[in-house]
Amino acid sequence: LIFLLLALLDVIETGLFIIYCPSGPDIIPIVAGVVAGIVLIGLALLLIWKLLMIIHDRREFAKFEKEKMNAKWDTGENPIYKSAVTTVINPKYEGK
């Protein structure tokens, strides 16, 4: 019975008892998992942001096109724009 008890407790030849603790966790897979998780979450957030911006831009462009189609003036000209070029006719010039 004593032999069995000593075998269970792992008594070495010097008579000291050795208590085996489980080995510590492997650090490399934990760090790699955390880094990969952070990178994947960042990429997912960037893709979501990009998708939202594409949707927003398409809505804004559709609104612009709709407003352009409903314009009350000729769409080829801007009613506010005034040409910077002026033509002056010299009455004394005879075209020679």
H/E/C letters for each residue in 17-68?
A: ECCCCCCCCCHHHHHHHHHHHHHHHHHHHHHHHHHHHHHHHHHHHHHHHHHH
- On the question of pLDDT at 76 being above 90, the answer is no
State the average pLDDT over residues 8-22: 54
28 neighbors 20 (Cβ within 8 angstroms):
no
50 neighbors 42 (Cβ within 8 angstroms):
no
pTM: 0.51
31-69 pLDDT, tens digit each: 999 999 999 999 999 999 999 999 999 999 999 999 888
